[in-house]
Structure 1
C-alpha cells in the first residue's frame, strides 16, 4: 500500500512540521519519533510568521513567550513581567504579525510600539525587519533628534507599524493633528522605564488619542504604583503575568565583586580589562555620570584599550555610530551610562563591568542583564569601595544570597603586583594637563552622584562597619594574569613547570601572603609604649601595671561581648530575607487592577505569614449612628448662606497652602502674588504655570513647543496637498494616496515621467496655477518675444550689409571694364 493522504508532501511546498525549528516529529532511521508539544506550531500561527521565526533561529518558546502569546492572540490586554533576556520582544511582535497579516495602505497605522530610548527603538525596528521578513508590512521609525520633514513624509506613506519614542511621537501627533482611529494594537515596551524617565504626561496624552477598541500590551521588569494606576485607567480587564518571582538573574550569569580603595577604582578597571577579560571579548562598562564616561574613555585610550562611548547628551548620529562600532566588533569596550541599562540586546556581549555601583538593586539587575541572555553565559564584575559597601549588602539581601567575604569566592581583591603595575600609568594620565578639566568635572559629578543616589538601609550601614574588607582574598580570576606577569618578569626557572603547577604554587603563595598581612593588621600589642622597658622600675611602668591589674575583669568582659556580637551577626546573615522596596505596589492594589494574575505559586508558610500581618494591620472603624455627635450642626449651610463675614471664609482667603504651585496645572496665581526664590534670595512674581503651554483635545496642558507650525511649512514646500487633491479628483471611488516612490521620484527621467503623468491626470495643461507661476510664465513669454524681435532686427541688418557689399562689388567690376 502507498502512503496515507496526510503523510504526502507536495512538491514545492515545505512541510509545516519542519517549520519553527522544533517540530512535533523527527525521522530517525526511517521511523518517526515523537517530540514534546508546546512549540510555536501549537499556537496556531500562520505559515509566513512560522517561517520568519524559523529563519531567525527560534526553536522552542521561552516560558514568558509560551504564556503570553496565546493570551495576546485571544485579544486580551496583558501586563507581562519577566526577568531580563527572556525574549520579551518576540512576545509582542509575533502576535502583532498574526493580527495585521498583510499591508493595507489605505487604512493607516494599525500598530504602535513605544520605547523609552533611541537604542531600544532601533533594536525593535531591526527585530521587526528580521522576524517579519516574509510579511508584507511597512514599518517606520520615529525618533527624537531626527529630521521631522522625513518623518512627515514617512507618515504620509500610510505605514502599518510605527516604532517611536513617546516625546517625538506626541510632537508629530500635535503638529500634524494625527487621527489614530485605525490603531488596533499598542505596545508599551519597558513601561516602568517610560514612567521613570518622565514620559507619563506624553503616555497619558497619547492614550487619550487612541481608540477605545484597541488592544494594549505592557512589558515591564518591575511594577511601580504609577504603572498599576496607568494599567487600571488605560487597559480593559488586563491579565497580569508575573514570571519574575523566583529568579531575578539569568541562570548562566556569574557575579563577582572586586573590592578596592576609592583612589584605585580606575586602576582596578584597567587591570580587569588588560589582564582578566580577553582582548577579543565584548565588554560594557557602566559609569555613574556622562562626565565619568569621557574620563574613562581617555584613560582606556591612553592605556591601549580600544573603546567607544554612548550617553544621553551625545549627538544621536554619534550614538548610532558608536553603537554600530561596538556591535560590529570594531572596538572591544563600550562605556555607557544607565541609558543602555534596559532593553539593549548585544548578541556577542560576554562581560559587564559596574565601575560605579548603582543605588537600587533592580538597576543592578538591569545592568548585568545585558549579558547571559537567551541561554548564553556571561560574567558581571562590580568594582566597589567603602562608599558602596552598604549597597552591595543590600543587593545580596535583595537577591537572597549570603554575603561572607571569608567563604565566598565571588568577593575579593586584585593582586597587589598587578595594581602597582598599572597604578603609575593611570596616575600619569590623571595628572596630564589635557584631562585636568575633565578630571575636575568628574570629581564634582561623583560627589553629586553620591548625594543623589538612594541611601542604603540603616541595617546594612550598621552591619557593614563590622565587616573587615581588608581580610578579602584575591579572586581566582587574577591568578593566571599574575602568573603571566611573573613569567614575563623572570627569565628562567618557571618555564619548565606546567600551568597547573604554577597556578597551585601561585595560589599557595598568595594565601600565605594574605595570611601574613591579615595577622599584621589584626596584631594588637598587649603592652603600651610606657611598658617597653620593664627592667626599669619607672613611674609610668608602675602606674600602667596597677591600672591593668585593676581593669582585668572589664577587659575580659568586653572581649567576650565582642565575640558574642560576632556570632549574632553571623546568625542574622544566614537568616536574612529578601528586602522589599518602598516604591513597589501593594498586593491589594495589584488585585484591584488585575482580575486575573498568572504567577508561580508561593510557599504556604509565607502566604500564611503575609495574611496574618495583613489581619493585624486592619483596624475596625465602626460608627455608632445612635450615639454619634456630628462636628457641625444640621443647618450649617443655611447659616453660612445668611452670614456676611464668617470666620471660615476669612480663613480660606488667608490660608497658607503647602501645594507645589510650580507643578500644579490647575493653580492660577492672582495678580501681584509673589513667592520666595531660594536662588535669588528675594521675593519674585509668581508666573502662571500655563504660560507657554497649549491645551490638547483631552484637556491636558502640554508645552507650546509641540505646535511649531513646521508641518504647514513642509506641506507648502512639498506640495503634498495638491498631489493628494489630484489623486482624489482622478479617483471617484475613494482616496488612494500616492506611494513614496511616486511622490518623490529619484533621477532625471523619473522626475520627467512624474511631471508628464501629473499633467495627464490633471487634464493636460489646464491645471490650476499659483500667481507666482503665472507671473513667471508671462515673464518667460515676454523674454521669448523680445529675443525673437532682436533676432529679427539682427537678421535684417545682416541682410542690408550683404546687399551693400554686393552693390559695391558690382560697381568695382563695371569701372574696371
Structure 2
C-alpha cells in the first residue's frame, strides 16, 4: 500500500511490490510505457525485453515530470530508469542553444559507462552527448561543449572547472540526474554541487539513484528536490539471490598467501575476478605479487593516469587479464558482464560499501561468488554487516558461510612469498610502503559498533574449521588430516600454567602455584561455570541471536523452557522479560539498516568534534599560544587557524571556490581556434570565407574515437587551404620583395668589389 510521507510524496517499498503482484496482473513491456519509436528501437537493439521492477515503478513517474529518489540493489537496471525518460523528454522538447540534460557521476569509469549506454540506447534519437571528466584534455572538452550537445555526462569537479572557465550558465538544463547520489554527497563535493545547482534553473526535474539510500533524505535536501517520490525496492534483500557469500578467516600477515590460495586452488583460471584493496599501495604491491605468480592481472586506482585507467579497464573487459586489482573507486556502478568473482582483500568498514563491492558480480540474474578475507581485527565489521543484511551468520555447519583456509595451503604460498621477498628488493619496498599505508588507513577507518566488538570476542571466530569450499581437494587425504590435527592443537588449552608444566614434584614454583590455586579455587570454579553458561546461553537480545550456532540456540531454548531453573537464572530471566503487548521500542525494526545507509551520521560526526575554551595541559596551552600571532595593523593578536580566502574566488552565487578554476585556458583556446567571443564562432561578415567555413565544419564535426581517425584529423588540420586570404597573399608578396631586394643588394656589392 502506498503511504504518503510529509515532504516526500509517494513511498513504494518491496512489500507494496509483492502485494501489487498478487492483486493485479503483471505490467506489460516497454511498449506499454508510451515510449516513442526511436527509443523503443534502441531498447530492443540493446537486448532489453521485459522491464525490471525498478524500471516498471520508476519510468512512468519520471515521465509524469516528478522528482524521484530511487533505491534498488546493484544490477537491477537503474541506468535505464533515467536514460529512457530523458530521451523522451529531450525528443519532445524544443532544441535550444545549450545542454538540456545533465548527469553527474562520482567517478570517471562510471561516467564513461553511462556515456556508452547513452550511445547504445539512444542510437536512433540523434541526440548528441558530451563527456566532461577530470584527467582529460580541457581543449577537447571546450570543443565538445561548443558543439551544442544535448546531454552532458560529467564528474562534479571538472564540470565546475569548465563552467567557470567558459562562464556557462546551464540555464537550459531541464533534467538533472545524480547517479550514485550518496557517494556524490560523501566525497566532499559540497562546494562544487552547490555552485552547479546555483547555475541550474529552478524549474527542473531532479532524479537521485543509488543502491544504498536512506529512508530520511535530510542529507540530500541541498540537491533541490521538489516533493520527490521515494521508491525503495529490495530493502530486505540488498544483494542478489544468486550471489554466494564466503568469509575466510586468516591472520593479517597471511592475507596475501590466502589470496594466492584462492586464485590457484578455488577460483578457476578462466574466471574474471576483481580484488578490492584498501589503498593504492596495496594495489601496486598485489600487482607485483601476482606478476611473480604468473597470474595475468591489471590494476586501477585514483591517482593513475586517465589513459592508463581506461586501457586497464578495457584489457580486463576483453579478457586479456583475468584479475583486476582496484580500490573502492571501482565499487560503484561498473557493469562487467563476464565477472564471476569478487574478493575483498581488506574487509570494508561500512556495510553499504560491501554491498556495492560484491554487487559488481551476479548482475541481471547471473550467478557469482564474493570471497572476503577477514582478520581478527575485522570480525566486528563482519557482525555489523550481518546486522545490516539481516542474515544469520552460520557457524560450525555443513552449509557454513564462514570458515578458515587449511594450514598446508596457506603455508605453501607463504613460503613462496617469503622467497620472493628475499630475492626482490623492489617487492620488499612495496611491502613496506603498503604496511605504512595500512597504518594510515587504520587511523581514518571508522570504528565498529560497541556491541559487535563485544560479541566478536565472545564468539571465538579465531578458531574455526576449514571452509567447505576446500573439502573436495584437501579433506579425506593426508593433508586434510594434518590440517584437522593442527586446528585441534590450536584450540587446545592445557589445565596447568607455565609455572607447572615440566616442573619437578619438589619444585618451589609448583608448590606456590598449587597453594594459589587452592586459595582461589572458588573464583576459578565460578569462572569456569560462567564460561560453560556463556557457550550454551542464547541472549534474549534478538539483534545478536542469529550470530550463534543453531546447536547453541536449541540448547538455550530447551534450557529456558525447562521448569528446573536455578534462582540466579530465574532472576536473570525475570529481569530480561519484556511485555510485548505494551512495550514500545525506542529503535525501529530497521534501525541497523538505516544506520548503515546514512550518508553523514550525526552521532559519529558529533563525537569527533571538540571545542576547547581553555587548555588544561602544558602541551595544549603551548599549541593554543601558537595558534595566534600579532597583527601590526590591527594592534592585536589574531588567529592563524581561521579559514582564509586566499587562493579562492567568489562566484556569482556566493560560493568560494579555488582560484585555479579561473585561468586563461579558454581564452587561449578561442584565440588558437579563431573563435569570436560574442557568437562563439567567426564574425558574420566572414561567412562566405572558405577558411571560416572549414573551421566551423571542423568544430561541429564529431571527433573520431580510433587511432587512425585521430591521425587523419591531425593531418587535415595541418593541411593548408588552396584559397588564400588577402592578408596571406600580402604576406607572401612582402616575402618575395624582401628576397628580391636581398639578391639585388648582394649583386650590387659583388660588382663594386670586382671594379676595385
Range class of TM-score, shorter chain: 0.7 to 0.9
Conserved 8 A contact 1:142-1:151: yes
Matched, 1:144 2:134: yes
The equivalent of 1:721 in structure 2 is 676
The equivalent of 1:201 in structure 2 is 191
- Residue 561 to residue 328, structure 1, CA distance change in 2 (3 Å): same
For residues 107 and 264 of structure 2, the distance between their equivalents in structure 1, rounded to whole angstroms, comes to: 31
Q: Deviations 1:109-161 (Å, cap 9, x if unpaired)?
A: 11111111110011111111111112211111111111111111111111111
Conserved 8 A contact 1:412-1:475: yes
Conserved 8 A contact 2:278-2:438: yes
Matched, 1:690 2:645: yes
For residues 792 and 687 of structure 1, the distance between their equivalents in structure 2, rounded to whole angstroms, comes to: 76
Q: Deviations 1:314-369 (Å, cap 9, x if unpaired)?
A: 11111111111111110000111111111111111110001111111111111111
Conserved 8 A contact 2:147-2:699: no
The equivalent of 1:462 in structure 2 is 454
- Residue 544 to residue 157, structure 1, CA distance change in 2 (3 Å): closer
- Residue 437 to residue 538, structure 1, CA distance change in 2 (3 Å): closer
SS at 1:334's partner residue? strand
For residues 106 and 501 of structure 2, the distance between their equivalents in structure 1, rounded to whole angstroms, comes to: 69
Alignment of 1:420-499 (within 5 A): 420-431=411-422, 432-482=424-474
1:708 to 660, 663, 675: 663
- Residue 754 to residue 154, structure 1, CA distance change in 2 (3 Å): farther
- Residue 375 to residue 708, structure 1, CA distance change in 2 (3 Å): same
2:316 to 326, 340, 346: 326
SS at 1:466's partner residue? helix
1:561 to 497, 510, 530: 530
1:518 to 459, 465, 488: 488
For residues 705 and 575 of structure 1, the distance between their equivalents in structure 2, rounded to whole angstroms, comes to: 52
Alignment of 1:101-120 (within 5 A): 101=91, 107-120=97-110
2:343 to 348, 353, 360: 353
Conserved 8 A contact 1:93-1:128: yes
SS at 1:254's partner residue? strand
CA apart distance, 1:785: 6.0
The equivalent of 2:358 in structure 1 is 368
CA apart distance, 1:101: 1.9
Conserved 8 A contact 1:284-1:336: yes
CA apart distance, 1:241: 1.3
For residues 670 and 755 of structure 1, the distance between their equivalents in structure 2, rounded to whole angstroms, comes to: 67
Conserved 8 A contact 1:288-1:449: yes
The equivalent of 2:572 in structure 1 is none
- Residue 226 to residue 114, structure 1, CA distance change in 2 (3 Å): farther
The equivalent of 2:88 in structure 1 is 98
For residues 364 and 607 of structure 1, the distance between their equivalents in structure 2, rounded to whole angstroms, comes to: 37
CA apart distance, 1:525: 3.2
Conserved 8 A contact 1:143-1:164: yes
- Residue 358 to residue 694, structure 1, CA distance change in 2 (3 Å): same
Conserved 8 A contact 1:85-1:374: yes
1:415 to 396, 400, 406: 406
- Residue 718 to residue 608, structure 1, CA distance change in 2 (3 Å): farther
Conserved 8 A contact 1:674-1:686: no
Conserved 8 A contact 2:384-2:448: yes
CA apart distance, 1:95: 0.7
CA apart distance, 1:700: 1.1
For residues 227 and 501 of structure 2, the distance between their equivalents in structure 1, rounded to whole angstroms, comes to: 81
Alignment of 1:792-807 (within 5 A): none
The equivalent of 1:776 in structure 2 is 731
Q: Deviations 1:708-764 (Å, cap 9, x if unpaired)?
A: 011111111110229824447759xxxx994446679958889889775x97xxxxx
Q: Deviations 1:637-692 (Å, cap 9, x if unpaired)?
A: xxxxxxxxxxxxxxxxxx999xxx9xxxxxx998566567xxxxxxxx56761111
Alignment of 1:534-613 (within 5 A): 553-569=522-538, 572=541, 576=545
CA apart distance, 1:85: 1.5
CA apart distance, 1:791: 13
CA apart distance, 1:403: 2.4
SS at 2:268's partner residue? coil
CA apart distance, 1:234: 1.0
CA apart distance, 1:163: 0.9
- Residue 568 to residue 433, structure 1, CA distance change in 2 (3 Å): same
CA apart distance, 1:222: 3.3
CA apart distance, 1:245: 2.0
For residues 715 and 738 of structure 1, the distance between their equivalents in structure 2, rounded to whole angstroms, comes to: 13
CA apart distance, 1:775: 7.4
- Residue 42 to residue 515, structure 1, CA distance change in 2 (3 Å): farther
Q: Which moved more, 1:325-334 or 1:93-102?
A: 93-102
SS at 1:162's partner residue? strand
For residues 717 and 483 of structure 2, the distance between their equivalents in structure 1, rounded to whole angstroms, comes to: 79
> Which TM-score applies when normalising by structure 2?
0.76
SS at 1:721's partner residue? coil
SS at 1:352's partner residue? strand
The equivalent of 1:344 in structure 2 is 334
For residues 791 and 477 of structure 1, the distance between their equivalents in structure 2, rounded to whole angstroms, comes to: 93
The equivalent of 2:599 in structure 1 is none
For residues 311 and 325 of structure 1, the distance between their equivalents in structure 2, rounded to whole angstroms, comes to: 15
SS at 1:135's partner residue? coil
| Structure 2 unaligned regions, length at least 5 | 1-24, 548-578, 589-612, 616-623, 625-630, 704-711, 749-756
Conserved 8 A contact 2:259-2:345: yes
- Residue 539 to residue 443, structure 1, CA distance change in 2 (3 Å): closer
CA apart distance, 1:515: 6.6
The equivalent of 1:799 in structure 2 is none
Q: Deviations 1:219-264 (Å, cap 9, x if unpaired)?
A: 1233469963543661222211112422211111111011112221
For residues 561 and 52 of structure 1, the distance between their equivalents in structure 2, rounded to whole angstroms, comes to: 67
Q: Deviations 1:57-86 (Å, cap 9, x if unpaired)?
A: 111111111111111111111111121221
Q: Deviations 1:495-524 (Å, cap 9, x if unpaired)?
A: xxxxxxxx7x35x98479537743773343
Matched, 1:133 2:123: yes
Alignment of 1:32-111 (within 5 A): 37-101=27-91, 107-111=97-101
Conserved 8 A contact 1:473-1:511: no
For residues 520 and 455 of structure 1, the distance between their equivalents in structure 2, rounded to whole angstroms, comes to: 29
1:276 to 266, 269, 272: 266
SS at 2:103's partner residue? strand
Conserved 8 A contact 1:191-1:219: yes
- Residue 687 to residue 112, structure 1, CA distance change in 2 (3 Å): same
SS at 1:469's partner residue? coil
Conserved 8 A contact 2:408-2:479: no
For residues 575 and 439 of structure 1, the distance between their equivalents in structure 2, rounded to whole angstroms, comes to: 38
Computing the radius of gyration from Cα coordinates, the structure with the larger value is: 1
SS at 2:459's partner residue? coil
The equivalent of 2:8 in structure 1 is none
The equivalent of 2:250 in structure 1 is 260
SS at 2:140's partner residue? helix
CA apart distance, 1:478: 2.0
SS at 2:291's partner residue? helix
CA apart distance, 1:435: 2.0
